[in-house]
Chain A
């Protein structure tokens, strides 16, 4: 059957309306992705034409201790910031979902840190983590605890950056809050009639009902966790000091690509990261099929 002229016109207009976005997607996403894939098979310094070297870059990555070190650091940071971030933002959302006086004020206060640019908050936290005169160690000292040197101590530098990431959990908190307010009160009433306590209601009503929101937040935090860069770059420098404990994957990639001009190697690193994030997201999706309830 031939499409009517109206159908054709609609198709054409539809495409025309999509065109700006399609052009943007092709120029700024698909082309760079494909170019990076090609460059990952070359030695490429940006300034000179790429030289094809096959899989050398990928083989080099497997043998590169810095690659593994930065991957380990990033996994540590992502695991810490995702789990701690989930716990803190969900707990805050639960607290702020109750009916107390001045609720709007509390919500604003807890949301505010997430509005702060990472550069500004990194500098702020650098002062707070100052081993000698920082706010945190001064506070700990008054409790009789001798605080660590935080960012100068390889044992504490990653936890310090995780704590800072959790401080900015306001965005996730707002999403949880929206999810919580969507839970039908009738379910809580039914649970109450059945004699369910706070924790039983939380586990059997709240969490299953907001599980799609949790899934969404977890996937987003995994992605952003693996892309951590700015905090470390500002707080501990591009070497990932102390003792490379804060050398995150993207920081390492930046060093290799923009400081050493080994864009081919950096492209290979970017592709490996892409595959890792893709696999983790797929795993989360797989897991979500068992745990996430979309039924109402």
Chain B
């Protein structure tokens, strides 16, 4: 047995030696050639979440940057150009964390603004403050709301790249069919509710067996004799901002860094309003009606298929309409406010795509150089035009407005700069909070729990979670 084994081990050692020598030779020769001709490029890995046309818009920016760097290196042989490699990553929120935890993060990452607080609290990000200070960063170039999305606990962790806001989006054809003026969308919640009633249509089976189309909520017609054809408004459609209805009534989910305020009166009022739609239409009717919809980015979605006349939607709705419902005549307006709270006019959910440097990034300075490039007005306008959104900067060129395909882009931008632009609470427990609240809204919409009770339960639970989180943060700082 020993003979062949020994022979094998000799052969393995010989192979290892040859490989090592060969790799040394290759490395040495490649080192020679680069030092003789030009500086080796500085490679920068950049993870980005977008695919499709948004991803292509970002690709164009990366290509421009790489070309500019290559030109610089050509002009100055002593300059080592930065070479950005953009990698498209789905489910970035989890993969990025795992990469950071595993000690092998990308040098730069494109993420959503609502993730900043949790990432920062968990020590997953590089504090941009010192880097930005050295680079002469001017915070005032940005719209205040969007630049503060990257800040948390007094430090800057991310820079806004492509912002978004939400508005009331409505179907003009359905407005006209219901006898409503599509040029005068509702401005108050009360008006909005009246519009929603007129835009609700049923197929009613009369005692004679004849079928008839009727509008309104028809409280006197039994459920078995009516089938919902079109809803004026459903609070759960689309479901993205289900937990954010309180914002339009002046409610806030968090009150300062240490207090959860789910059950404040404005939130209760908002969710009573949400529940009123379940009462008017019927819980079972809504469930069955909604189950016929496709997802939001498909022609079968509630709004694009003309089944729901008014929705709360983001600036990207224009892209969906162009792609899935090209002929749809639509309008946008600020989402209504309660008549007794006119100061809430212009309330919008405003979030942004952000660029961040993960903790452990091997090239933070190069990452910052790309971030600086991507934050110049010309580059941001090219990117935001490509993604068909507005820019996060205060200054906007006339050319940008002229070239923009979204007819309501100025409205969405105006909402973004409004004093009532609100964002997801900056807390490390947001994921947990969002799930709890989602469940509470589920119970409220199905009329299983009154809003005051459901929200109070969430508040109690989340206050305990926040206290736990604060305690752990303090414990970590003490260590």
Contact = CB atoms under 8 A, between A and B. Distances in A.
Interface of A: 9, 13, 43, 45-48, 51, 130-134, 149, 151-154, 238-239, 241-244, 255, 258-261
A47 B100 contact: yes
A152 B439 contact: no
Contact of B446 (A46, A47, A239, A242): A242
A131 B291 contact: yes
B359 A133 contact: no
Contacts of B122: 45-48, 261
B448 A243 contact: yes
B256 to A, nearest CB: 21
A268 to B, nearest CB: 14
B446 to A, nearest CB: 7
B115 to A, nearest CB: 11
B421 to A, nearest CB: 26
Contacts of B98: 46
Contacts of A151: 291
A5 to B, nearest CB: 9
A61 to B, nearest CB: 13
Nearest to B98: A46
A149 B479 contact: no
Contacts of B359: 47
Contacts of A261: 97, 118, 122
Interface string B313-353: 00000000000000000000000000000000000000000
Given A47-B359, A243-B446, 17 more contacts: A46-B122, A47-B123, A47-B124, A48-B476, A51-B475, A51-B479, A130-B291, A132-B292, A149-B291, A152-B288, A152-B290, A241-B442, A242-B446, A243-B439, A244-B439, A259-B431, A259-B435
Contacts of B435: 238-239, 255, 259
Contacts of B97: 46-47, 261
Contacts of A46: 97-98, 101, 122
B476 to A, nearest CB: 6
Contacts of A239: 435, 438-439, 442
B431 A243 contact: no
15 contacts: A43-B472, A46-B98, A48-B476, A51-B472, A131-B288, A131-B291, A151-B291, A152-B288, A154-B446, A241-B438, A243-B439, A243-B443, A244-B439, A244-B442, A261-B97
A149 B97 CA distance: 37
A95 B40 CA distance: 71
B1 interface: yes
Contacts of A130: 291-292
Nearest to B289: A132
A131 B438 CA distance: 21
B56 interface: no
Interface in B261-293: 284, 287-292
A131 B461 CA distance: 33
A73 to B, nearest CB: 13
Contacts of B1: 9, 13
4 residue pairs, one from A and one from B, having the closest CB atoms: A132-B292, A131-B291, A46-B101, A149-B287
Contacts of A259: 94, 431-432, 435
A13 B5 CA distance: 11
Contacts of B439: 239, 241, 243-244
Interface of B is mostly: helix
Given A239-B439, A242-B446, A258-B94, A152 B291 contact: yes
A288 to B, nearest CB: 40
B16 to A, nearest CB: 20
Contacts of A154: 446
B364 to A, nearest CB: 17
B274 to A, nearest CB: 15
Interface in B463-479: 472, 475-476, 479
B476 A51 contact: yes
Interface in B390-447: 429, 431-432, 435, 438-439, 442-443, 446
Interface centre among B288, B438, B476, by most chain A C-beta atoms within 10 angstroms, is B288
Nearest to B121: A45
A153 B448 CA distance: 12
Contacts of A238: 435
B429 A260 contact: yes
A206 B256 CA distance: 69
Nearest to A262: B432
Contacts of A134: 291
A255 B93 CA distance: 13
Nearest to A258: B94
A89 B337 CA distance: 58
Nearest to B442: A243
A239 B441 CA distance: 12
A153 B432 CA distance: 23
Nearest to A255: B435
Nearest to B102: A46
A133 B443 contact: no
Contacts of A255: 431-432, 435
Contacts of B443: 243
Contacts of B124: 47
A51 B475 CA distance: 8
Contact of A260 (B290, B292, B431): B431
Nearest to A151: B291
B442 A242 contact: yes
Nearest to A242: B442
Contacts of A47: 97, 100-101, 122-124, 359
Contacts of A51: 472, 475-476, 479
B218 to A, nearest CB: 19
A45 B122 CA distance: 7
A133 B123 contact: no
A241 B118 CA distance: 24
Interface in B92-146: 94, 97-98, 100-101, 118, 122-124
B287 A153 contact: yes
A242 B283 CA distance: 13
A126 B328 CA distance: 28
A48 B477 CA distance: 11
A47 B428 CA distance: 13
Nearest to A153: B287
A295 to B, nearest CB: 44
Contacts of A132: 288-289, 291-292
A48 B368 CA distance: 24
Contacts of B446: 154, 242-243
A260 B284 contact: no
A258 B291 CA distance: 29
